[in-house]
Amino acid sequence: MKLQDSQADVLIIGAGLAGMMAAWAAGQEGARVLLLDRSSLGMGTNSALSNAVLAAPTAAYPPEQYVRDTWEIGRRINRKSWVSRVAQEAPGAIERLLACGLEAQSSRDTYAILSPDPRAIPGVHLVRRVADRVKQAEHLHIDTGFYVTEILVEEGRAAGVQGLDTRGQETRLSAGAVILAAGGAGAVYHRNDNQKSTLGQGYALAARAGLALWDMEFVQFFPLVLAEPRLPSLILYPPLPREVRLVDARGQDLSFIHGAGSLGEAIMEKRDEFSAALYERLETAGPVFLDFRSVPASWWDRHPLKGMTRLAFDFRRTPVAIAPAAHFFMGGVRIDGQGETDLPGLFACGEMVWGLHGANRRGGNALTECLVSGWLAGSSAARRSGGQRTSAPATESLLPKYAPVSSLESIGKFRKRLKAAAWGKAGVVRTAEGLRTGLAEIGELEQGLADLQASNPQEKIWLHDLRGATMAVRAVLTAGLNRKESRGSFIRKDFPEEDNGRWLKNSCLTWQPRSREFITTYADAES
Ligand SMILES: Cc1cc2nc3c(=O)[nH]c(=O)nc-3n(C[C@H](O)[C@H](O)[C@H](O)COP(=O)(O)OP(=O)(O)OC[C@H]3O[C@@H](n4cnc5c(N)ncnc54)[C@H](O)[C@@H]3O)c2cc1C
């Protein structure tokens, strides 16, 4: 396979909010940009699923306060220099976003993007507007349906990517600089509220290219997500009516799980404890439901209940199954002040960047980070790529080749086993025993996966997805087993206390291709 000259100065993997901001910024610098996504521009992304709330300093909320609050929520292991940078850049980034023709309702420390249709997900409106703006760039080529399987490295720098194009052909594309904007990995969990394809591909691409993954044990879970088999995993945000009740299958009150106060207050004030209590209840005593039958009719015309009315479920008559679900990955790759990773020529932005969130994410900070890191990566990559575009033959792929034998059924089974292992062993509440068993299960899955073969391009993509997802789960389990305390979203039943004496540290995982394991080291958190 020859390396095709993509004619791009900057090649971007992922067209979520971060990738689109990067494309916009690089285009503004005059770069020729190639924006690749396995799905459509903006729409197959977590950005489109979002509630479109952004946290930022405002006139009434100074940057220093934003930094302090973000650091406290992150339980003081955030990368403080990056938090300060985001604080500094966020107001300008939000101004730029709103100039796309978006309206926002602002509070002391957040901006909530308003959608013209209250039944629609606000994130869809957000990404549509940004996509319209990005498409105006002069030298932009968008290739949707391109699935990246590898970052090509030549002479110690990123030189392009390898992947499957829309016809399923293995293709190599060169570029002066590459930007990873591939999102998180929430969908590796049996219960999650992410897009189905959010399977940690970005982490796997980065780790295989030799980058370290930081703080991968920290996964944020959201307590109330629809868990009815036929319904989408819709997240239920506050404000929720006081009349809605948590019940078991027989209708018995379970309000002791969230304690005094309303469900909405439990989500806002003690989200992690609430998720943990729900998780333990589900694992030991069966399903939990929300009963909306006493909710006054006027609520069904208001956000967020209005959005539920478009689903084929009679919420006004039937209690609905709910569960906590994986929501966001705090860990990821390290970038420098220019948005560049430790591999020269490779930049990163969005959810897959490490450092802003520490042990827990402050609500609204993920989208703000997409704006800031996307812009930084796009403009730096454009400046850095000048004259670097390579057309030399790439090094041979390190990925194994597969013979054509159909394995559709096995792929489905493997996917199910992987998600169950992630949920059961690397879920909301973890123990050493569970994490060790999880690693053993992942080892078995990896062995089985090595024998699976794809018979067509779609199966190839599913297999790559599975291999990437397996690596992401291995990272969560490995870092989780080694951290012997609880902190932020990370809850160890066998080490329930936060231990500032020993654990004000960031974990750093390095992939060992021969043993197919991660090695863990630690760095002291920035103070
Ligand atoms: C239900 C929900 C609500 C949320 N609400 C908020 C909120 O209100 N405020 C907030 O701050 N955060 C929120 N978040 C978090 C936030 O939405 C995400 O962290 C953010 O959108 C991630 O953006 P991104 O650009 O990094 O990745 P994404 O938007 O996930 O985009 C990544 C893209 O990369 C593509 N991709 C991945 N791998 C490959 C590959 N190998 N080849 C080609 N393409 C690839 C994917 O297809 C995808 O299109 C929410 C998350 C969820 C799930």
What is the predicted pLDDT for the residue at 385? 86
The CA–CA distances, whole Å, from 217 to 69, 271, 331, 360, 478 equal: 22, 18, 7, 11, 8
What confidence tier does 451 reach under pLDDT thresholds 50, 70, 90? confident
364 lines ligand 1 (CB under 6 A): yes
Domain boundaries, the chain: 3-218+328-385, 222-327, 408-524
Q: Which of 24, 45, 130, 373 to mutate to test the pocket of ligand 1 (most atoms within 8 A of CB)?
A: 45
Alpha helices in 323-407 (DSSP H): 365-385
8 A C-beta contact, residue 234 and residue 264: no
Model-level pTM?
0.95
In the prediction, which pLDDT does 397 show? 38
Residues 507-520 have a mean pLDDT of 97
Mind listing the pLDDT tens digit for each residue in 151-172? 999 999 999 999 999 888 899 9
Task: Report residue 395's pLDDT band, with 50, 70 and 90 as the boundaries.
Answer: very low
Mean pLDDT of 222-226: 97
Which ligand 1 atom sits closest to the C-alpha of 368?
A: 11
Within 10 Å of residue 136's Cβ, how many Cβ atoms?
Answer: 9
**371 C-alpha to ligand 1 centroid (Å):** 12
pLDDT of residue 282 exceeding 90, the answer is yes
Q: 508 versus 402: which is more confidently predicted?
A: 508
Res. 483: pLDDT tops 90 = yes
pLDDT, mean of residues 81-103: 97
pLDDT band at 1 (very low <50, low <70, confident <90, very high): low
Q: Which pLDDT score, from 0 to 100, does residue 192 have? A: 98
What average pLDDT does the chain have? 93
pLDDT class of 5 with cuts at 50, 70, 90: low
Cα 372 to ligand 1 centroid, rounded to whole Å: 15
Work out the pLDDT band at 401, boundaries 50, 70, 90. Answer: very low
> How confident is the model over 253-262, as a mean pLDDT?
90
What is the average pLDDT across 41-63? 96
- Is pLDDT above 50 for 405? no
Tokens of 44: 């197959």
Q: What is the mean pLDDT of residues 452-473?
A: 92
Our answer on whether the CB atom of 468 is closer than 6 Å to any ligand 1 atom is no
Give dist(CA 511, CA 209) in Å, integer: 9
The pLDDT of 90-106, averaged and rounded, is 97
Report how far residue 348's alpha carbon sits from residue 372's, in angstroms, rounded to the nearest whole number: 11
**Which atom, in ligand 1's list, is nearest to the CA of 53?**
8
In 382-462, beta strands by DSSP E: 429-430
Cis peptide before 241 (omega within 30 of 0): no
Cβ–ligand 1 distance for 46 under 6 Å, the answer yes
Would you tell me how many other CB atoms lie within 10 Å of the CB of residue 168?
Answer: 16
200 lines ligand 1 (CB under 6 A): no
| Short-list 171, 172, 195, 157, CA closest to 15 | 195
User: Phi and psi dihedrals of 113, rounded to 5?
Assistant: -70, 130
Model confidence at 408, pLDDT cuts 50, 70, 90, reads low
- Is 503 in contact with 485 (CB distance < 8 Å)? yes
- Name the fold adopted by 3-218+328-385: FAD/NAD(P)-binding domain (3.50.50)
CA of 220 to the centre of ligand 1 (A): 14
Of the candidates 471, 472, 380, which has an alpha carbon nearest to the alpha carbon of residue 178? Answer: 380
Percent with pLDDT over 70 in the chain:
94
Class of domain 408-524: mainly alpha
Confidence of residue 299 (pLDDT cuts 50, 70, 90): very high
Average pLDDT over residues 422-444: 98
> Does the pLDDT of residue 390 top 70, yes or no?
no
Question: CB of 25 within 8 A of CB of 370?
Answer: no
- Asked whether 421 lines ligand 1 (CB < 6 A), one says no
The SS3 assignment for 229 reads coil
What CATH number was assigned to the domain covering residues 222-327?
3.90.700.10
For 265, the token pair is 């207050």
Query: Measuring CA to CA, which residue among 436, 475, 221 is closest to residue 324?
Result: 221
The two most distant CA atoms of the chain are separated, in Å, by 68
pLDDT of residue 456: 87
pLDDT of residue 301: 87
C-alpha 48 to ligand 1 mean position (Å): 7
**Contacts by 512-519 with C-beta closer than 8 Å and gap 24+?**
513/208, 513/398, 516/446, 517/474, 517/478, 518/207, 518/213, 518/474, 518/475, 518/478, 518/479
Q: For ligand 1, is residue 220 a contact (CB within 6 Å)?
A: no
Query: Do the first three CATH levels of 3-218+328-385 and 222-327 match, i.e. the same topology?
Result: no
Give, for 386, the enclosing helix (H) or strand (E).
none
Per-residue model confidence as pLDDT tens digits over 330-383: 999 999 999 999 999 999 999 999 999 999 999 999 999 999 999 999 999 999
Under the banding of pLDDT at 50, 70 and 90, the label for residue 28 is: very high
Q: In the chain, count H helices and then E strands.
A: 14, 19
What integer is the mean pLDDT of 266-295? 94
